[in-house]
Amino acid sequence: MLLRNPSLYTNPEPCQHLAEYKLKHGFDGYKAIQKLLVISPIGKASVKKPNTKVPRCGFCNGCEGRFYLCLICSSFSCLDHTLLHPQSETGHAVFVDIERAELFCGVCRDQLYDPDFDQVVMSKHSLGVASGVTGNESIGQRLIKRRRLASGVVGLDLQKSKCRVSTKDLREKSCYPVGLRGLNNLGSTCFMNSVLQVLLNAPPFRDYFLSGGHRLEACHHRRTADLMCCLLCDVNAIFSAAYSGDRSPYSPAQFLYSWWQHSANLACYEQQDAHEFFISMLDAIHEKESKTRNGSKGNGDCQCIAHKVFYGLLRSDVTCMACGFTSTTYDPCVDISLNLDTNVSSTEKGKKLTKQNEDGSMSTLFGCLDLFTRPEKLGSDQKLYCRNCRERQDSLKQMSIRKLPLVLSLHVKRFEHSFVKKSSRKIDRYLHFPFSLDMSPYLSSSILRARYGNRIFNFGGDQSDMFSEFEIFAVVTHSGTLESGHYVSFVRLRNQWYRCDDAWITVVDEATVRASQCYMIFYVQKLQHNKANEDPSHVPNSPGRELFLPIAGFC
């Protein structure tokens, strides 16, 4: 039997009547109910009616309204007589709502929640879909592995912090954090500058480069042989420039040249998409480091810095609507693209700001994430071939997050293309985003739990709550139109927000960031965030001087 995870639920105390019932009768009633339970294809539990007749109240013979089954004498009662039944029969207090498979106390007049009863209901779910049990077991095994990985990552970073040497640069002009430095616009390259500013201040990514993660000596030899630029060396050069203490704006020209060689399709003098640049840069880093490290295979166990920091795993469940069979696949991702939630109708766009506030129908990041993880019925052209039914059936698809990355990058789809109208436009709607984000409702375990009626049961397979709390550290915003606009990034260092507008670094207050039109939002796990804020003086100024101590890999 799987262990219960107490941190997920507030375990309710059973009322005295339920306690007395379990003390006297044990699980006999639960086992009897288990045989009568029926699970619908979409996962709803109910109690089968005997003899397929319309149930009638044993006392008033009525056949309307809600019906409850007494767990002791198995008699049916309507709601009124459910409340009267315990008075006539002492001890007959616990009932089951036959429509919803929920416990009910006739004396307390309230619904009851018992982990043991929910186990019974969940075991019925598992029996219905045999392959689900196998999936749960393998998920459990992966859970052990992932916990080790997660703790390994944390341990690795903790060890690294001990190696750092605290050195203050005398050239520093002011008390501002050492990583802040403007980036010159080389000609419509604000999209690149805004993403680079985010990466320069992403705690795990920054720590890697500042601690000499990329071996320059080994790379130099290969570079002369290949006559090819090394993107990682140029990223390293940007980190050296930003953290050197020099505050005059830096021109990332060598990086642009290097990136244009790696991503030839994007090598043109145009205003480009910041998100596209972000993805292509991580792909280039992954590609380069994968060649360097011979042992890596596949994305799941990739040791390159791009995947160590940004790698997450999405889970996709496709459920047959006829029999309830669920097919599960996993997709790696370095960010999550979210559609803006469409709670606000288009006619309301013309309203003034004050009226919008009064409406309360604001788009929120939670709404976008809810939309992302909502079950979606697949179209008739996408019918799933159900292995259980052996034919194509209507199906529901639902996304969830199987593994969260160290740095969570959320991309808001603001650039909309309509195939019908053959036109593109930008969605300028305001989106509210929180500074602290709890991602546990969107983990696979939470989505599964909600699908099966929020029963008290360990759905397993996910990291603990400790790794689902995130804190914001950067926002990339876009202003203007689809054809001509400007990207600006906001970076949060030691709880102070800075606006990075190409060469201009200015201080802004929280309100400015909250009111901005976010395009990409970057969150870091709270463990990383707290560590980054606690050791401001430990950020080295000259990464080259620091000794790099080898640390054992994940094991």
Partner 1 sequence: MSVPNEENLSSHSQLSSHFFLDLLDSIIVDVASECHRVARLGLDSNLEEEDEELKLSAQARVRVADPSNSNEANGKYVVDIFGQTHPPVANEIFDCMNCGRSIMAGRFAPHLEKCMGKGRKARLKVTRSSTAAQNRYSRGSPSPGSTYSPYSNYSTNSMNRLANGTSTFAGEEHSNGTLES
Catalytic residues: 190, 486
Q: How far is the CB of 445 from partner 1 (least distance, A)?
A: 12
Size of the site for partner 1 (CB under 8 A): 70
**Please, which residues have CB within 8 angstroms of residue 454's CB and are 6 or more apart in sequence?**
none
Nearest residue (CB) to partner 1, 438 versus 534: 438
Q: Which of residues 244-263 bind partner 1 (CB under 8 A)?
A: 247-249, 251, 253-254, 256-257, 260-261
The contact pattern for partner 1, residues 33-72, with x = CB under 8 A and - = no contact, is -------------------------------xxx------
Contact between 466 and partner 1 by CB under 8 A: the answer reads no
- The stretch near partner 1 (CB under 8 A) out of 325-333, 412-420, 449-457, 537-545 is 449-457
Contact between 173 and partner 1 by CB under 8 A: the answer reads yes
Residue 214 CB neighbour total at 10 angstroms: 22
Task: Give the separation between CA 409 and CA 489, rounded to whole angstroms.
Answer: 14
Task: Give the separation between CA 69 and CA 74, rounded to whole angstroms.
Answer: 6
Q: What amino acid is encoded at 66 in this protein?
A: R
Nearest residue (CB) to partner 1, 71 versus 180: 180
Nearest residue (CB) to partner 1, 325 versus 459: 459
Contact between 184 and partner 1 by CB under 8 A: the answer reads yes
Q: What amino acid is encoded at 218 in this protein?
A: A
Task: Give the separation between CA 547 and CA 163, rounded to whole angstroms.
Answer: 8
Binding residue for partner 1 (CB under 8 A) from 1, 225, 511, 555?
511
3-state secondary structure of 344: coil
Contact between 526 and partner 1 by CB under 8 A: the answer reads no
Q: How far is the CB of 353 from partner 1 (least distance, A)?
A: 5
Q: How far is the CB of 302 from partner 1 (least distance, A)?
A: 29
The count of C-alpha atoms lying within 13 angstroms of the C-alpha of 91, restricted to the half-sphere facing its C-beta, is: 8
The contact pattern for partner 1, residues 91-120, with x = CB under 8 A and - = no contact, is ------x-xx-x--------x-x-------
**232-243 as b/e: b if 16+ CB within 10 A:** bbbbbbbbbbbb
Token output for 348: 């309301």
Q: How far is the CB of 65 from partner 1 (least distance, A)?
A: 7
Q: Are 83 and 106 in contact (CB under 8 A)?
A: yes
Nearest residue (CB) to partner 1, 398 versus 445: 445
Q: How far is the CB of 187 from partner 1 (least distance, A)?
A: 3
Q: How far is the CB of 471 from partner 1 (least distance, A)?
A: 13
Token output for 130: 């045999």
Binding residue for partner 1 (CB under 8 A) from 51, 52, 88, 174?
174
Binding residue for partner 1 (CB under 8 A) from 498, 519, 522, 523?
498
Q: Are 387 and 302 in contact (CB under 8 A)?
A: no
Contact between 462 and partner 1 by CB under 8 A: the answer reads no
Lookup result for tokens 């639920």: 9
Task: Give the separation between CA 26 and CA 31, rounded to whole angstroms.
Answer: 10
Q: Which of residues 223-242 bind partner 1 (CB under 8 A)?
A: 227
Sheet containing 312-320, strands listed edge to edge, beginning at the edge strand earlier in sequence: 326-333, 312-320, 395-403, 376-377
- The stretch near partner 1 (CB under 8 A) out of 35-43, 81-89, 172-180, 373-381 is 172-180
Contact between 480 and partner 1 by CB under 8 A: the answer reads no
Q: Are 523 and 471 in contact (CB under 8 A)?
A: yes
Nearest residue (CB) to partner 1, 256 versus 482: 256
Nearest residue (CB) to partner 1, 102 versus 317: 102
- The stretch near partner 1 (CB under 8 A) out of 52-60, 68-76, 281-289, 503-511 is 503-511
Task: Give the separation between CA 8 and CA 513, rounded to whole angstroms.
Answer: 32
Nearest residue (CB) to partner 1, 278 versus 442: 442
Contact between 164 and partner 1 by CB under 8 A: the answer reads no
Element (H or E) spanning 477, and its range? Answer: strand 469-480
3-state secondary structure of 388: coil
Contacts by 500-507, CB closer than 8 A, 24 or more apart: 500/180, 500/182, 500/183, 500/193, 500/194, 500/197, 501/190, 502/182, 502/183, 502/184, 502/185, 502/190, 502/193, 502/249, 503/182, 503/183, 503/184, 503/185, 503/249, 504/182, 505/180, 505/181, 505/182
**Please, which residues have CB within 8 angstroms of residue 213's CB and are 6 or more apart in sequence?**
305, 548
Binding residue for partner 1 (CB under 8 A) from 77, 189, 290, 409?
189
Positions touching partner 1 (CB under 8 A) are 9-10, 12, 64-66, 97, 99-100, 102, 111, 113, 173-174, 176, 180, 182, 184-189, 227, 247-249, 251, 253-254, 256-257, 260-261, 264, 267-270, 353-354, 357, 362, 364, 366, 430, 432, 434-436, 438, 441, 453-454, 456, 498, 501-508, 510-515
